[in-house]
Amino acid sequence: METESGISSRKWRFKGNEISMRSSALTVRSALNMLMGNLDPNDQRPSIQLGHGDPSAFPSFRTAPEAEIAICDALLSAEYNGYSPNIGRLHARKAVAEHLSHDLPYKLSPDDVFLTSGCTHAIEIILDVLACPSANILLPKPCYPYYEARAIASNIQFRYFDLLPERDWEVDLGAVEALADQTTVAMIITNPGNPCGNVYKFEHLKKVAETARKLGILVISDEVYYHLTFGSNPFVPMGVFGSIAPVITLGSISKRWVVPGWRLGWIVTNDPNNLLKKYGIVDSIIGFLNVSAEPTSFIQGALTQIFEKTKVDFFTKINDLLRENADFCFSKIKEIPGMTCPSKPEGALFAMVRLNLSVLENIEDDVDFCLKLAKEESVIVLPGATLGVKNWIRVTFAIEPSSLHDGINRIKVFCENHSKK
C-alpha cells in the first residue's frame, strides 16, 4: 500500500476545465459577491442591495396567493411525483402556448413550446443549439452578462452591437448590419430590457425583424420581463414578427410572478413559415433537452392554474410599485452630482445611470465607484464593467420603497462627499 504522502505526491491525470473560471467570473453574482466583500463591518446601518434582480424576499413583492395554492394542489394530487418528458409535460406546454398566444396574431401550438429550468436554462440550451463550428451570434451592449458567460461555456463566438441610450436604448441596426457576415446566425435582444429598462415600440421591433431577414439570421428575444411594463409603451412580443424572420422567444415565470426559485421557463418558436424545423433548429433543441434535466414536475403541474387563477390585481400592484420606484429613482438621480439617467426606465427592474467622473474626486472608474460606495455607504449597485460598458452603473429599483429612498439618499451623500470642490 502506498502511504498517504505517496498518494498526494503522485502525479494524477485529471484537472478541472478552466473555461468554467473564465465564464463564471463574468456573472452578476460574482460581481455582487466581490462588492459584498467590501462592505464595512463597522457600519451600524443595514446594507442596501440595489444590485440584484430578485425582489422575492421583500414583503411588497410576495407572489400571488393563487400561485402558491396551485403548487400545493399539484403536489397533493400525487400526480407529479415521477419524471416528466425532457421537453416538458404536454398539458404544461399547452398552457404556455395558450398563455402566450393572447398577445400574438396567430396561435402557438404545444409543439412550439419547450419547457426549461428557468430562462437561464433556456439561454443555455439555445446557445448550445447555435454553437456550430465557426458560428457567431450578435449580443447587445450593454448586455445581461449571462449571455457572454454562457457563450464562452458553450464555445460559440459573439460580437457586440450598441444599444443607443439617447434613443431609449434602441438597437443600432446599422451596427448590426456592419457586424454580421456569412458566419453570423442570430442576434439577441432583451425586451423589456435588462439592464436598460427599455420597452421597445412595435415599429422598432419590426425593423429588427426586417434587418434579421435581410441578414438571414434568426432573432432570439429574451422576454423574461414580459408585461412588467409601467411607461407609455405596451409590451409587444417579438413573436408578432415571426413571419418576417424566425423568432425564438425565451421566458419564464420567474420575474412576472416573482418566483425565480421555482425554475420554470420556456423556449418558444414563433415561426409560421416553419424555417426552424427545416433548418434543424427544432430537432437540435429537442436533442439538447434530451441530454439535460427537465424542470420540476409539480411546478409544471401547477402551471395551468397559475396562469388561469392569478388575479389581474396582482400584476397591477407589482407594476404600480415598480412605476413609483422607477419615478422616484429617475427624479432623485437628476439631483445627484456626477450622475445622469439618459432614458427613463419603462419596464423590468433596472435603471442604467451614466457616471460623470470629471466632477467626482478620487473615483477611478465604475468598479472603483461601486467598491467605495459599498465601503462608505453600505450600498450595493452593479458596475457597468459587468455589463460591458465603462463608467455606467445599474441600479435595481425593485425593493421596498423605504429602503430604496434610503439607498438613493446614501448614493447622493456619497457623490456629494466625492464632488470636486
C-alpha cell, 95: 398552457
Does 300 bind ligand PLP (CB under 6 A)? Our answer is: no
The region of 72-80, 118-126, 204-212, 268-276 touching ligand PLP under the rule CB under 6 A is 118-126
Does 338 bind ligand PLP (CB under 6 A)? Our answer is: no
Please give the backbone phi and psi of residue 418, each rounded to the nearest 5 degrees, phi first.
-100, 5
- Which residues in 119-148 contact ligand PLP (CB under 6 A)? 119-120, 144
Q: Where are the alpha helices (DSSP H) in 310-356?
A: 312-333
Does 384 bind ligand PLP (CB under 6 A)? Our answer is: no
Percent helix / strand / coil, the chain, rounded to 5? 45, 15, 40
Q: Angle at Cα 392 formed by Cα 350 and Cα 124, nearest 5°?
A: 60
318/228 Cα distance (integer angstroms): 8
Q: Which of 145, 239, 260, 388 binds ligand PLP (CB under 6 A)?
A: 260
Compare residues 266 and 298 and give the one whose CB is closer to ligand PLP. 266
Q: Which of 49, 84, 136, 190 binds ligand PLP (CB under 6 A)?
A: 190
Quick one: how far is CA 273 from the chain centroid?
28
Minimum Å distance from CB 150 to ligand PLP?
10
Nearest to 223 by CA among 211, 240, 206, 210: 240
104 DSSP 8-state letter? S
96/161 Cα distance (integer angstroms): 31
Minimum Å distance from CB 185 to ligand PLP?
20
Total of chain residues touching ligand PLP, rule CB under 6 A: 13
Compare residues 246 and 260 and give the one whose CB is closer to ligand PLP. 260
Which residues contact residue 16 at a Cβ distance below 8 angstroms, ignoring those fewer than 6 apart? Answer: none
Signed CA dihedral, 260, 262, 263, 266: sign only: negative
Does 197 bind ligand PLP (CB under 6 A)? Our answer is: no
Compare residues 161 and 414 and give the one whose CB is closer to ligand PLP. 161
Minimum Å distance from CB 191 to ligand PLP?
9
Instruction: Give the side-chain half-sphere CA count within 13 A for 52.
Output: 17
226/242 Cα distance (integer angstroms): 17
Mind giving me the DSSP string for 259-278? -GGG--EEEEEE-TT-HHHH
The region of 18-26, 252-260, 324-332, 401-409 touching ligand PLP under the rule CB under 6 A is 252-260
Compare residues 190 and 270 and give the one whose CB is closer to ligand PLP. 190
Compare residues 224 and 236 and give the one whose CB is closer to ligand PLP. 224
The region of 112-120, 155-163, 174-182, 235-243 touching ligand PLP under the rule CB under 6 A is 112-120
Binding mask 264-283 for ligand PLP (x = CB under 6 A): -x------------------
Nearest to 199 by CA among 96, 346, 334, 300: 346
The region of 113-121, 236-244, 326-334, 411-419 touching ligand PLP under the rule CB under 6 A is 113-121
Binding mask 217-246 for ligand PLP (x = CB under 6 A): -----x-x----------------------
Compare residues 113 and 336 and give the one whose CB is closer to ligand PLP. 113
Compare residues 62 and 375 and give the one whose CB is closer to ligand PLP. 62
Q: Which of 254, 304, 343, 396 binds ligand PLP (CB under 6 A)?
A: 254
Rounded (10°) CA dihedral 266, 326, 46, 61 = -40
Which residues contact residue 161 at a Cβ distance below 8 angstroms, ignoring those fewer than 6 apart? Answer: 138, 139, 140, 141, 171, 172, 175, 176, 179, 187
Binding mask 170-189 for ligand PLP (x = CB under 6 A): --------------------
Minimum Å distance from CB 329 to ligand PLP?
18
In this structure, are residues 204 and 251 in contact, taking their beta carbons and an 8 Å threshold? no
Q: Which residues bind ligand PLP (CB under 6 A)?
A: 53, 118-120, 144, 190, 194, 222, 224, 252, 254, 260, 265
